[in-house]
Amino acid sequence: MHYDHDPKFPEGFLWGASSAAWQVEGATDADGRTPAIIDLNSQTKVPFADNSIAADHYHHAHEDVELMAECGFTSYRFSLAWPRIIPHSDGKVNEAGIAFYNELIDDLVAHNITPIVTLYHYDMPVWVDEELGGWKSRKTVDAFEHYARVCFERFGDRVKYWLAINEQNMQICYGDWLGVDKGCDDWFRDKWRVNHIMNLCHAKAVNACHELVPGGKIGPVPGMVPIYPFSSEPMDQIAAMNAEEFTEKIWNDTDAYGEYSTFLKNYWKNNDIDPGIEPGDEELMKSAKIDFIAVNCYRSNTARWAAANAAAQAQLMNKTGEKGKLIFPTVPGQYQLCYNPYVPYTDWDWEIDPVSMRYVMRYLWDHYHLPMVVTENGFGAHEHKDENGEVHDQYRIDFLRDTVYQLGLAIEDGVEIFGYNPWSFTDLLSTGNGIEKRYGLVYIDATDDELNEAKAAGVLPPMKRIKKDSFHWYSKLIKSNGAEW
Ligand code: BG6
């Protein structure tokens, strides 16, 4: 990428990294935590390791915070595990779970690292699914509100930035990948009911945060993949707009305006879909005013027109990390996604497109005029130690540098952005490819096979932390507030 000047970042810009409880903590049955739906889902992703050990952050939290401080972090975005805090349907608080997060938060604050905390990053307790009906049931809204209130009451004195639900749009779009479609037999229709329940949970959390956390701010976390039209053929532009609506804009509009758009309501009407809206729901949604948008953005997609008689194709993810295994989706009469000839791809067929960060920031700012923080961005790769036990990840440094440059340009464009938290600090489990798909600035010295063997033997491996080259590059960047890049 050509850089024609140095980007500038505002004083107090939050530099950190990001994780999620089920992907980093491990210790899934420690100290009273009960199983989550995502634990069961992760067990289906063989031959990759499941989340019972992950990066074993649960037993290495202090060491990890020390490393963050050494790197110069001023923020850390992580999530709380619902089943660690409320393990059973009696709603009682698990003090051991609270103690783990209290220590982590205290440790961060003592190192001047601002915690940015997600309430929900895919780990619904199994009891919510089995006893209340999970995402299909309105009873879940009360259970989620109770959990959120406990978190705000216990941690809100030190945590001021809250995120409600991670990537609701992606959970609904790819329900089978994360197990959100559990128990639904007609996902085409049922997903809008699940989505509505999630919107009510989101609204309750937003209002409770404002009620219980002095100075607290809360926002949604859309998974943003900007959609470019494949060509200047006019129907490719409509296809890009359709893809954008159905993968992200519907959710952004709902979060920002507190109401369903006319586009979505028409779609429901034309397709005979009942999203299960009851009296009072729309008032609740309207009352929940978000303070900012937390943005996850790794890449872009490209869309071209698909005629009404085109063959439908669901997206099939690349599950191996061998290039060329992704099957793009086709939605007849709306769009099909396709390769972009202008960008390279990772081994998992993700577009390597740092410009997407500037695009997404400009796009969200123009539409919603809310401050933003980057809560995920990163480069997933197969990685190994060399003969000296070091990990040289120049491709990650290149990607992060190009992205930070684009973020700087977005700030110069006038967009209000207050932080950058790439995924991830240490290596951790990917959503479907275990620890083999690595994102960290810090290498975790364990493979999926070793994690599987350790789980079978019931013995925890040492899980040594090794700083990658990107750790050292990022540290210089942070400590100079973006000047040395
Ligand atoms: C984000 C999710 O969409 O992408 C994370 O919030 C996820 O949970 C990250 O890990 C990277 O995706 P993957 O599939 O490579 O793990």
pTM of the model: 0.97
Euclidean distance between CA atoms 99 and 105, whole angstroms: 10
| Per-domain boundaries in the chain | 14-305+342-479
Give the per-residue SS3 of the chain.
Answer: CCCCCCCCCCCCCEEEEECCHHHHCCCCCHHHCCCEHHHHHHCCCCCCCCCCCCCCHHHHHHHHHHHHHHHCCCEEEEECCHHHHCCCCCCCCCHHHHHHHHHHHHHHHHCCCEEEEEEECCCCEHHHHHHHCHHHCCHHHHHHHHHHHHHHHHHCCCCCEEEEEECHHHHHHCHHHHCCCCCCCCHHHHHHHHHHHHHHHHHHHHHHHHHHCCCCEEEEECECCCEEECCCCHHHHHHHHHHHHHHHHHHHHHHHHCCCCHHHHHHHHHCCCCCCCCCCHHHHHHHCCCCCEEEECCCCEEEECCCCCCCCECCECCCCCCCCCCECCEECCCEEEECCCCCCECCCCCECCCHHHHHHHHHHHHHHCCCEEEEECCCCECCCCCCCCCCCCHHHHHHHHHHHHHHHHHHHCCCCEEEECCECCECCCCCCCCCCCECCCEEECCCHHHHHHHHHHCCCCCCCEEECHHHHHHHHHHHCCCCCC
pLDDT value for 182: 86
Would the CB of 425 count as within 6 Å of ligand 1?
Answer: no
The CATH architecture assigned to 14-305+342-479 reads Alpha-Beta Barrel (3.20)
Would the CB of 438 count as within 6 Å of ligand 1?
Answer: no
Residue 232 Cα to ligand 1 midpoint, Å, equals: 31
Assess whether the previous peptide bond of 42 is cis (omega < 30° from 0). no
- The ipTM of this complex is 0.99
pLDDT value for 485: 86
pLDDT value for 163: 98
Which amino acid residue places its CA nearest to atom 11 of ligand 1?
A: 430
- Closest atom of ligand 1 to CA, residue 298: 4
- Closest atom of ligand 1 to CA, residue 317: 14
Query: Can you say how many angstroms the Cα of residue 132 is from the centroid of all Cα atoms in its chain?
Result: 25
pLDDT value for 177: 82
Which amino acid residue places its CA nearest to atom 5 of ligand 1?
A: 431
Residues whose CB is less than 8 angstroms from the CB of residue 43 and which lie 6 or more positions away in sequence, other chains included = 50
Average pLDDT along the chain, 485 residues, taken 10 residues at a time: 89 98 97 96 94 98 98 98 98 98 98 98 97 96 98 98 98 88 91 97 98 98 98 98 97 98 97 97 98 98 97 91 94 97 97 98 98 98 96 98 97 98 98 96 98 96 97 97 90
Would the CB of 20 count as within 6 Å of ligand 1?
Answer: yes
Euclidean distance between CA atoms 112 and 110, whole angstroms: 6
Euclidean distance between CA atoms 203 and 76, whole angstroms: 24
Let me know: does 96 contact 83? Beta carbons within 8 Å: no
Which amino acid residue places its CA nearest to atom 16 of ligand 1?
A: 430
Let me know: does 133 contact 193? Beta carbons within 8 Å: no
Task: Answer yes or no: 376 catalytic.
Answer: yes
Residue 430 Cα to ligand 1 midpoint, Å, equals: 6
- Closest atom of ligand 1 to CA, residue 122: 8
Active-site residue (options: 25, 245, 248, 376): 376
Euclidean distance between CA atoms 461 and 6, whole angstroms: 43
Let me know: does 457 contact 468? Beta carbons within 8 Å: no
Would the CB of 431 count as within 6 Å of ligand 1?
Answer: yes
